[in-house]
Amino acid sequence: MAATVNTRRLARAMLTPAVVILFIWMIVPLVLTLWYSFQNYSLLNPENVGFAGWSNYRYFLTDPAFFQAFANTLILTLSVLAITVVGGILLGLLLDQFIYGQGIVRILVISPFFIMPTVAALVWKNMLMNPNYGIFAWIATSLGFQPVAWLETYPLFSIILIVAWQWLPFATLILLTALQSLDEEQKEAAGMDGAGFASLFVYITLPHLARAITVVILIETIFLLSVFAEILVTTGGGPGYATTNIAYLIYHLALLDYDVGGASAGGVVAVILANIVAIFLVRLVGKNLEA
Amino acid sequence: MRHYRHLAGVASLLALVAAGPAIAETTLTIATVNNGDMVRMQGLTEDFTKANPDIKLQWVTLEENVLRQKVTTDIATKGGQYDVLTIGTYEVPIWAKNGWLVALDNLGDAYKVDDLLPAIRGGLSADGKLYASPFYGESSYVMYRKDLMEKAGLTMPETPTWDFIREAAEKMTDRANGINGVCLRGKAGWGENMAFLTAMSNSFGARWFDEQWKPQFDQPEWKNTLQFYVDLMKAAGPAGASSNGFNENLTLFQQGKCGMWIDATVAGSFVTDPKASTVSDKVGFALAPDTGLGKRGNWLWAWSLAIPAGSQKTEAAEKFIAWATGPGYLDLVASRDGWANVPPGTRASLYANKDYTSAAPFAEMTLASIEAADPTHPTVKPVPYTGVQFVAIPEFQGLGDTVGKFFSAALAGQTSVDDALKQAQDASTRTMTRAGYIK
């Protein structure tokens, strides 16, 4: 008994440095951000410094861009989630079948995930969506249609398309792995009981995939809330604020306005918002993980 | 024991080396932009280091936006990473006012400060003192296709009006063959569409702020500017123009998809270069358009070298700047790479040089365009700021980007011209109030 207590104490003592460092690692930037968010601090204006009260927060939250950025962040995240989960299931089902050249097909399907976001955005912007020399425009003109200026006419939809294209392979990969762990005998038994493809899918495959879908949603949400490179490269947040999300808005404040105080306030707001979303998500889908 | 002897040997050798050179060696860290002319400068530095063996050069070459962010944060936080900065006409007056730059009084006689073009010199001075030395300067003008002009039955005057540009653009447009009458910047950004639109608005008599710093987007002059621009682009511009900046338009023009292009004078050498341009032998040049109000829609910019205040190496930095931006450098480039490749737009003597003017078909128009711009009186009405295509206040980078977004949305048809102007008015009022200009 005494030995166990001692061991525990020792273990705790040995853990302490790691915990302290982690704590400092987390808390120092957060405290600094909080501190700056209450300061008048613009890099380019050395005269106007000092305590700002709530004015940075008021400035950020009353910005007409803020509401649209918030809405855009939600639309972007939810749409990409919907596309990647549904598309991932369909692709997973397809790739689960035996086909000739299976390995190569799977690598091809998964590869977009390994392309850097900046590069992917450039490829979509210049090679595919450009209304003058892009491939979509070429297809449209050869079919006798007017080419569509994607990033101008449907800016947010275009961003959703690009981001979904990048994340679809991730969802596919996870869901395919889950599908492969589905017991063949269970499927066979259901088939012998007369279950068709639809009921097989609804009553056996989908419940089996529930946990994998939860993982996909949770991980993707974390990354999708802060999509940035794709927006910077393709639309720069525009036209207007059509594709500005919270991350891009803060970038604008910090690196174009050099407004450290305002950007810090924005950062704090973003952290709070992300936490709210996370709480909802965990409540909504996290239960699946316990089952 | 033998080890010790070795050590002693090494130590005495080190002492010898340290005591050896009579002159202290200085290393200059130079931050610059990755434009062709600056890259060429790096290749030529041997000429400088030969004459100044005590000075070593270390280059930090970055893309324009990254450079601006690094240099701005460095100087604002007094980081002291760089000894020579490459900055533009936008930064110089603001930073000089903040006391962040060293006045360039000691560049020597060979530098010939009076040879600088007055417009450029004015843009880089504060209170009559030069705070940055221009490496190359530019304005904007009309580049047009002579063959398409002829086909449309028109002749481009040397000093076109906006009405003429519209008429010509509509006649040249041949969408079935992929030819757009006019290509103009539409991509949002203070250095992209707002550079063009602010310069254009000057010729329509508009201004950003009145003398009390009150934003002027609710005035009819801005409405006329933006409406004209949007209508013109709808009738004769390329598809997806709201994502076209300088580079996109350059590509379109080089591929023969534009009848006219109003943009930076440096583009002249790119569109007439037979290696890059399919229309190199068909390009003509004219001054930026006006509306008869006395101002033309052309801008003024100069990439320049400056020394941050508090630098320990001012003397060496001055020597370098005098070398890189002095008249001797132009001769050096000309002797190595030919006259067409010298950095343009800074010195009057260059435009008096027959060798240069015959090698560069766009030289005459470049000079005329630069001379037509006045950063201290950019538009018809009086303004409290300097800058032709920008407002030289710290808040302009962010504000210019925001307004640029609204205008790019109007071009894309996402908002109406009136809404875009109202949003611009509101956003600038907000920013100017927060920054303390409007009480």
| pTM higher than 0.90 | no
Shortest CA distance from A49: residue in chain B: B435
Instruction: List CB contacts (< 8 A) between A242 and chain B.
Output: 409, 414
The region of weakest confidence among A113-127, A274-288, B80-94, B117-131 is A274-288
Instruction: Please indicate whether, in this complex, the C-beta atoms of B406 and A258 are within 8 angstroms of each other.
Output: no
Asked if B244 and B235 count as a contact pair (C-beta separation under 8 A), the reply is no
Q: Tell me, what's the pLDDT at B22?
A: 47
Instruction: Please indicate whether, in this complex, the C-beta atoms of A48 and B412 are within 8 angstroms of each other.
Output: no
Instruction: List CB contacts (< 8 A) between B185 and chain A.
Output: none
Residue B363 sits at the chain A interface (C-beta within 8 Å):
no
Q: Which residues pair with B290 in a beta bridge?
A: B161, B296
Contacts of A239 (CB under 8 A, 6+ apart): A152, A155, B188, B242, B405, B408, B409, B411, B412, B414, B415
Average pLDDT over residues B133-157: 94
Instruction: Please indicate whether, in this complex, the C-beta atoms of A149 and B423 are within 8 angstroms of each other.
Output: no
Shortest CA distance from A236: residue in chain B: B188
The region of weakest confidence among A79-83, A182-186, B167-171 is A182-186
Q: How far is the C-alpha of B272 from the C-alpha of B265, rounded, in Å?
A: 12
Residue A126 sits at the chain B interface (C-beta within 8 Å):
no
Shortest CA distance from B394: residue in chain A: A44
Angle formed by the axes of helices A260-285 and A2-37, nearest 10°: 130
Q: How far is the C-alpha of B178 from the C-alpha of A229, rounded, in Å?
A: 31
Residue B24 has pLDDT above 70, yes or no: no
Instruction: Please indicate whether, in this complex, the C-beta atoms of B398 and A256 are within 8 angstroms of each other.
Output: yes
Which H or E element spans position B31? strand B26-33
Residue among B58, B60, B61, B57 nearest B34 (CA) = B61
User: What is the residue-averaged pLDDT of chain B?
Assistant: 89
Q: What is the percent of chain B where pLDDT is above 70? A: 95
Angle formed by the axes of helices B314-325 and B327-337, nearest 10°: 50
Q: What is the percent of chain A where pLDDT is above 90? A: 28
Residue B19 sits at the chain A interface (C-beta within 8 Å):
no
Average pLDDT over residues A101-118: 86
Confidence at B310, pLDDT banded by 50, 70, 90: confident
Asked if A236 and A203 count as a contact pair (C-beta separation under 8 A), the reply is no
Pairs across A and B, CB distance < 8 A: 113
| DSSP designation for A254 | I
Residue A98: strand, helix, or coil:
coil
Question: ∠ CA(A124), CA(A130), CA(A131), 5° rounding?
Answer: 150
Q: How far is the C-alpha of B415 from the C-alpha of B413, rounded, in Å?
A: 5
Distance of CA B105 to the CA centre of its chain: 24
The region of weakest confidence among A73-77, A257-261, B409-413 is A257-261
Instruction: List CB contacts (< 8 A) between B395 and chain A.
Output: 44-45, 257
Identify the sign of the CA torsion A32, A53, A46, B62: positive
Distance of CA A218 to the CA centre of its chain: 9
Q: How far is the C-alpha of A63 from the C-alpha of A60, rounded, in Å?
A: 5
| C-alpha count within 13 angstroms, C-beta hemisphere, residue B99 | 3
Residue B395 has pLDDT above 90, yes or no: no
Residue B280 has pLDDT above 80, yes or no: yes
Instruction: Please indicate whether, in this complex, the C-beta atoms of A238 and B408 are within 8 angstroms of each other.
Output: yes
CB atoms within 10 A of CB B211: 10
Residue A45 sits at the chain B interface (C-beta within 8 Å):
yes
Q: Tell me, what's the pLDDT at B17?
A: 47
User: What is the residue-averaged pLDDT of chain A?
Assistant: 86
Instruction: List CB contacts (< 8 A) between A241 and chain B.
Output: 405
Average pLDDT over residues B261-284: 90
Residue A112 sits at the chain B interface (C-beta within 8 Å):
no
Average pLDDT over residues B347-369: 91
Q: What is the pLDDT of residues A190-208, one digit of tens each?
A: 888 888 888 888 888 888 8
Q: Tell me, what's the pLDDT at B13?
A: 47
Q: How far is the C-alpha of B115 from the C-alpha of A145, rounded, in Å?
A: 57
DSSP per position, A195-208: --HHHHIIIIIHHH
User: Smallest CA–CA separation between B404 and chain A, in Å?
Assistant: 8
Residue whose tokens read 């009309």: B142
| DSSP designation for B98 | T
Which H or E element spans position B339? none
Q: How far is the C-alpha of A163 from the C-alpha of A113, rounded, in Å?
A: 10
CB atoms within 10 A of CB B429: 16
Confidence at B217, pLDDT banded by 50, 70, 90: very high
Instruction: Please indicate whether, in this complex, the C-beta atoms of B405 and A240 are within 8 angstroms of each other.
Output: yes
Cis peptide before B394 (omega within 30 of 0): no
**Report for A92-101, B221-230, B263-272, B337-346: range of highest mean pLDDT:** B221-230
Asked if B86 and B67 count as a contact pair (C-beta separation under 8 A), the reply is yes
Instruction: List CB contacts (< 8 A) between A133 and chain B.
Output: 255
User: Smallest CA–CA separation between A224 and chain B, in Å?
Assistant: 23
Confidence at A26, pLDDT banded by 50, 70, 90: confident
Q: How far is the C-alpha of B360 from the C-alpha of B136, rounded, in Å?
A: 15
**Helix (H), strand (E) counts: chain B:** 19, 10
Shortest CA distance from A243: residue in chain B: B405
Identify the sign of the CA torsion A127, A128, A130, A132: positive
Q: How far is the C-alpha of A185 from the C-alpha of B121, rounded, in Å?
A: 84
Shortest CA distance from A141: residue in chain B: B176
Q: Which of A48, A125, A152 is opposite residue B412, by nearest beta carbon?
A: A152
Asked if B186 and B241 count as a contact pair (C-beta separation under 8 A), the reply is yes
Residue among A147, A258, A83 nearest B401 (CA) = A258
Q: Tell me the ipTM for this assembly.
A: 0.72
